[in-house]
Amino acid sequence: MAKGQEIKRRIKSIKSMLQVTKAMEMISSIKMRKAQQKALGSKAYSFEAWKAIKKLARAKQIATNPLLKKQSKGKILAFVISSDRGLAGSYNADIMRRVIKFVEENSKENIEFVTMGLKIKKFIQKIGGNIIADFPLGEQIRFTMSSPIALLAMEGISSGKYKKFVSIHTHFGSATNKGATELQILPVDIERISTEISDQEASSVEFKFEPTADGVVDSVIRQTIRAIVYQVILESEAAEHASRMIAMKNASDAASDLKEDFEFTYNQLRQQSITSELAEISAGSLAQQ
C-alpha cells in the first residue's frame, strides 16, 4: 500500500495548507473591514471638499489659481499604488495592466512616476519608467502620508513642470466591487465637479474672504488635494485586503476539494486492499478444505 501512504502524506500536507489559507482569509477579512470603515468615512469628507471647490469656483478671484488651470505643456505625474506582497489575486496584475495602458496612451517619456508599494515599484523599473519618488506603504495608513505626495504634485503643477497629476489605483466600493482605475487629481476639474452637484446647491452660499480670496481658496484647494490623495490610498488598502481575502477563500475551497478527492481515492485503495486480503483468506480457507 505504498501508493496509499503517499496519498496520506498529501492529505496531511493539504490539511496544513488549509490551516494557513483559512488563517490568512480571516486576517484579511478583519483588516478589510477596518480599512473599509476608514475609506467610506473619508469618502464623505472628500466629496464635501469637492463640493466646496465648486461653490468657491463661482468667485472670479480663483480663476488665477494655477491648480485650476488646464496646462498644455509639461509632463504627467502619475501616482501608482500596489501592495508590498503577493497572494492578493489579480490586485497587482490589474494595476500593472492599467499602467501599461496609461504608458501606451501617453508615452513613457512624458510620464514621471510616484510609487507606493514594492510590486509596482519593481514593475515600473522593469519597463523603464522614471520613478522620481517612492513612499513606503506601511502597516497603518495615516493622513500625513498624503502630504509629501500632494506637495510634490502641487508644486510641480504650479511651476509648470507638470500639466497633469493622476492616480492609478484600485477603486473600492465593496469586497466584490473593485477594480483598477485612473483619476485626474490636478488640475482640479471644475466641469466634472459641476456634474456631481446642482447649480442651485453650488450658488446657495455667498462667500466673504478674509484676509484674501486667493489665500483662502489656495488653502482650501491644497487641503482638498491632500484629502483626495489620502482617499486614494485608503481605497487601495481596502481593495488589497478584499482581494487577498477572496484569493485565500478560493485557495481554501480548492484545497478542500482536492483533499476530498484524495480522501476518496485513498478510501478506494483501502477498500481494494481489504477486498484483496479477504479474497486471499477465502482462497486459503478453501484450499485447506
Grid cell 500639466 in the structure block, residue: 163
Residues with Cβ within 8 Å of residue 165, at least 6 apart in sequence? 76, 77, 79, 153, 156, 157, 184, 185, 186
* Predicted confidence pLDDT, tens digits, the chain (289 residues): 557 778 788 888 888 888 888 888 888 888 888 888 888 888 778 777 777 776 776 555 555 677 777 777 889 999 999 999 888 888 999 999 999 999 999 999 999 999 999 999 999 999 999 999 999 887 778 888 889 999 999 999 988 899 999 999 998 866 566 688 898 888 876 665 555 555 555 555 666 777 777 777 778 888 888 989 999 999 999 899 888 898 888 888 888 888 888 777 877 777 776 676 656 666 665 566 6
Does residue 256 sit within a domain?
no
Does residue 13 sit within a domain?
no
Count of structural domains, the chain = 1
Does residue 252 sit within a domain?
no
**DSSP class per residue in 175-214:** SSSEEEEEEEEES--HHHHHHHS-HHHHTS-----SS-HH
Does residue 268 sit within a domain?
no
Q: Determine the structural domain holding residue 40 and report its residue range.
A: 24-246
Does residue 258 sit within a domain?
no
Does residue 162 sit within a domain?
yes
3-state secondary structure of 16: helix
CATH of the domain at 145: 3.40.1380.10
Nearest Cα to 129, choosing from 145, 107, 146? Answer: 107
Does residue 289 sit within a domain?
no
Grid cell 506582497 in the structure block, residue: 85
pTM over the 0.75 mark: yes
Does residue 255 sit within a domain?
no
